[in-house]
């Protein structure tokens, strides 16, 4: 039977901690605080990448905390919005690795629609307040998500960029899946290993070996 996010996460979403997160979001919005991404976009990563179509997982940290940036996919911004520095470096490495021209926009919908789960550690943030919701319980939910992928899928490629993402490697069985690590693409650390990592071509090589279709990384 086909596994779906809805079925796999049904019990988790009923747990008190998760219901508390949803209540906190509503309370914050009611009190006039601006929360990103917009309510309908919070779970976009799951909507756009069905469980049975996952090929790779890219881990981010926090949604962007500026107006009109975040739309539920890590590192991605809506079309028409200036590309943040980390995303600029991601595109630089993509061009170096696969000779793909840097796009004018920073929307990664095409990746998520091909099976790349673009997952942040926190799924919400407050306007102008980086990390504002890191202690709301999102980490418990994300760890559950990663555990479900580890258990119920095979041959998934996890791209863990930076120490925050790499701490999740303990949830992943390296005998079942593939873990690619490097420094974070942030300008502060990209030169320490991200630029030159070749993760995009390596991901496609691993997919090819499994008989899976490659990712078209052009956006």
27: annotated active-site residue? no
User: What are the backbone angles phi and psi of residue 112, rounded to the nearest 5°?
Assistant: -65, -30
CA angle 184, 181, 94 (to 5 degrees): 65
Q: Are 37 and 97 in contact (CB under 8 A)?
A: no
Query: Do residues 122 and 63 touch, judged by C-beta distance below 8 A?
Result: yes
| Helix or strand (DSSP H, E) at 159 | strand 157-161
Instruction: Check 41, 62, 109, 173 and give the catalytic one.
Output: 62
Judge contact between 103 and 91, C-beta under 8 A: yes
Alpha helices in 15-66 (DSSP H): 16-30, 44-48
The phi and psi torsions of 80 (rounded to 5 degrees) equal 90, -5
In whole angstroms, give the CA distance from residue 123 to residue 76: 13
Active-site annotation, residues: 62
């Amino acid at each position: 039977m086909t596994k779906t996010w809805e079925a796999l996460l049904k019990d988790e979403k009923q747990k008190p901690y998760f219901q508390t997160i949803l209540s906190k979001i509503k309370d914050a919005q009611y009190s006039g605080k601006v929360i990103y991404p917009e309510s309908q976009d919070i779970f976009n990563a799951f909507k756009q990448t069905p469980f049975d179509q996952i090929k790779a997982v890219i881990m981010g940290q926090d949604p962007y905390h500026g107006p009109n940036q975040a739309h539920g996919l890590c590192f991605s911004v809506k079309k028409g919005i200036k590309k943040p520095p980390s995303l600029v470096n991601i595109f630089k490495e993509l061009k170096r690795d696969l000779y793909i021209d840097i796009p004018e926009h920073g929307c990664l919908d095409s990746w998520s629609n091909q099976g790349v789960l673009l997952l942040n550690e926190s799924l919400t943030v407050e306007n102008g307040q980086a990390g504002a919701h890191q202690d709301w319980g999102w980490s418990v939910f994300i760890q559950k998500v990663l555990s479900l992928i580890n258990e119920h899928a095979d041959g998934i490629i996890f791209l863990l960029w930076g120490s925050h993402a790499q701490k999740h490697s303990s949830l992943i069985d390296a005998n079942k899946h593939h873990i690619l690590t490097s420094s974070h693409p942030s300008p502060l650390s990209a030169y320490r290993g991200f630029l030159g990592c070749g993760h995009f071509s390596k991901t496609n090589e691993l997919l090819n070996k499994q008989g899976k279709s490659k990712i078209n990384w052009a956006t």
